[in-house]
């Protein structure tokens, strides 16, 4: 029997070509996000190069692309406006150190706590953001909505739309790009469809001398190698007070976006990345970038989708994208500046179509209303504010819904045994959401003098549950009744004994579970 394995040569070729495709798409994005942050274009390009290269080499998710992003840029703009770009570099260094610390403390595992409706909402919201960002390309140069500072962030309402032939040409080139990407794989997969589309549309525009906007109309990308530079800021507590709040916010946003993108790439490639290693990789990348004049960054879902869809699976694809971007800056800027923005816009529209979870429309009526609400809300908040806020809101609402639903699941059944004791059998989790219902189901005045509460089918989940037991014990003791608690875990008994002699604990058989409580341990 012959065992057919994927060709290593094919994998290398795919990584190289997909990396080149990503690099072409990175140029206008990096420049645009630099404008959003209020810094020079090269600051964004250097960040895209260094963050992309380092995370590709040591990050936890091969095939994922990182660089300067809009989610970070919108936070940076106020810092740069108030204190200058040197404070931004210092903040990026501190941001990286905080991300390294998060990885060392193994906090990346907590991304698994993000519910699936939040993930779907995040993906849909980000697809909408990417789509809206491209609409500014259909505005007139120099008019509202196309200004440098709002190149990708401008409101659709503010765009002064192209007119006549200019609009038709722009639409035609975008549609041609999308058509090539869609139909070319049916003919051949020798080269990534996105790269072929960019090259074909660029040659068409240059060959026919078509009057359409190109990368060079946004900004010049010509520059030299990034040089080592210690941020010129005073090394004192006042500086730390300025940069620390920004660093914490940027570190959190960067890790959330990176880890969610990691999960998305995991699902597409049916492999598993390493979240804690990615945290360290992002941290090292941002720390180095801050010392080399870059604005920092994180994972980019749009470019990651381009890479994966173009066949990029290994670290070589991210390395190729970063090194190609550096070559563009050093020697190939005249050629890259001739690429039509329409071609890159078409590529991003394909990314939008592939990123959006179209199945979410079908499942909205099939999933619980609370999950549907979370999905829609996270999408809306992602568009209205930013990713980090949307994810936090989604997780909090999901947790509250979970607590509310499980608060209804605790039940207490009472009976009398052959000795004349009142026996209560508790069923369901005892935690902050269910303690009120739990306490309401006991009546010390009516019970017999000897009372047994059986926790064999219950779990004491937190400090609120422990406090509820102590409160109940005190009620029975004040009523002159003897209380026995059975089937409690050893850990729970230990925590209850710290409250003194309020309760007599008789253990018959202990379940093997632990109380989620640290403050009393």
Q: How many CB atoms lie within 10 A of CB 406?
A: 15
Residue 496's pLDDT is 64
% of the chain exceeding 70 in pLDDT:
87
pLDDT above 50: residue 16: yes
Greatest mean pLDDT among 119-123, 245-249, 360-364 lies in 245-249
Only one residue has tokens 């078509």, namely 210
Tokens 């007070």 found at: 241
Strand (E) or helix (H) holding 416: strand 411-416
Q: How confident is the model at residue 205 (pLDDT cuts 50, 70, 90)?
A: very high
The DSSP string of 245-289 is HHHHHHHHHHHHHHHHHHHHHHHHHT----HHHHHHHHHHHHHHH
Q: What angle do CA 330, 45, 19 make, to 5 degrees?
A: 80
Question: H-helix or E-strand containing 450?
Answer: strand 450-460
| pTM (whole model) above 0.75 | no
pLDDT digits (tens, 9 = 90+) for 89-135: 999 999 999 999 999 998 887 777 778 888 888 888 878 887 887 78
- Percentage with pLDDT > 90 across the chain: 30
Among the listed ranges 82-91, 128-137, 270-279, 369-378, which one has the minimum average pLDDT value? 128-137
pLDDT of residue 511: 47
Separation between Cα atoms, residue 380 and residue 498, nearest integer Å: 47
Domains and CATH numbers, the chain: 12-379 (no CATH), 408-505 (3.30.750.24)
């Amino acid at each position: 029997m012959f065992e057919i394995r994927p060709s290593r040569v094919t994998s290398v070729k795919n990584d190289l070509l997909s990396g080149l495709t990503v690099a072409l798409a990175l140029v206008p994005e990096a420049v645009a996000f630099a404008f959003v942050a209020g810094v020079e274009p090269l600051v964004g390009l250097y960040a895209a190069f260094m963050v992309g290269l380092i995370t590709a080499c040591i990050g936890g998710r091969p095939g994922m692309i990182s660089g300067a992003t809009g989610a970070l840029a919108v936070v940076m703009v106020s810092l740069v406006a108030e204190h200058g770009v040197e404070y931004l570099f210092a903040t990026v260094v501190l941001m990286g150190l905080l991300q390294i610390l998060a990885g060392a403390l193994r906090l990346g595992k907590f991304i698994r706590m993000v519910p699936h409706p939040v993930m779907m909402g995040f993906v849909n919201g980000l697809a909408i953001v990417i789509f809206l960002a491209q609409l500014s390309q259909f505005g007139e140069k120099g008019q509202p909505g196309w200004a440098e500072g709002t190149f990708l962030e401008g409101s659709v309402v503010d765009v002064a739309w192209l007119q006549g032939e200019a609009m038709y040409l722009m639409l035609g080139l975008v549609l041609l790009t999308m058509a090539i990407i869609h139909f070319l794989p049916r003919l051949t997969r020798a080269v990534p469809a996105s790269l072929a589309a960019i090259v074909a549309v660029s040659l068409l525009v240059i060959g026919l001398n078509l009057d359409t906007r190109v990368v060079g109309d946004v900004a010049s990308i010509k520059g030299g190698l990034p040089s080592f530079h210690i941020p010129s800021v005073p090394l004192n507590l006042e500086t730390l007070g300025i940069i620390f709040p920004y660093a914490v916010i940027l570190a959190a946003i960067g890790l959330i976006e990176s880890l969610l993108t990691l999960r998305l790439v995991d699902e597409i490639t049916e492999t598993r990345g390493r979240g804690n290693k990615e945290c360290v990789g992002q941290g090292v990348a941002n720390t180095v970038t801050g010392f080399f004049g870059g604005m920092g960054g994180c994972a980019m879902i749009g470019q990651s989708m381009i890479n994966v869809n173009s066949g990029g699976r290994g670290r070589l694809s991210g390395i190729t994208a970063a090194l190609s971007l550096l070559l563009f800056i050093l020697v190939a800027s005249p050629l890259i500046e001739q690429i039509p923005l329409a071609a890159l816009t078409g590529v991003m529209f394909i990314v939008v179509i592939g990123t959006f979870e179209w199945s979410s429309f079908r499942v909205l009526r099939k999933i619980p209303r609370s999950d549907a609400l979370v999905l829609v809300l996270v999408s809306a908040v992602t568009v209205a504010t930013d990713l980090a806020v949307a994810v936090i809101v989604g997780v909090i609402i999901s947790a509250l819904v979970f607590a509310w639903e499980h608060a209804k699941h605790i039940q207490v059944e009472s009976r009398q045994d052959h000795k004349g004791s009142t026996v209560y059998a508790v069923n369901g989790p005892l935690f902050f959401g269910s303690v009120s219902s739990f306490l309401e189901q006991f009546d010390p005045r009516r019970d017999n003098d000897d009372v047994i509460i059986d926790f064999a089918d219950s779990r004491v989940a937190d400090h609120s549950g422990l406090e509820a037991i102590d409160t109940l014990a005190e009620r029975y003791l004040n009523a002159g009744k003897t209380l026995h608690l059975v089937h409690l875990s050893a850990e729970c008994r230990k925590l209850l004994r710290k409250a003194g002699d309020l309760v007599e604990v008789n253990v018959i058989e202990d379940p093997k579970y632990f109380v989620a409580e640290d403050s009393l341990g």
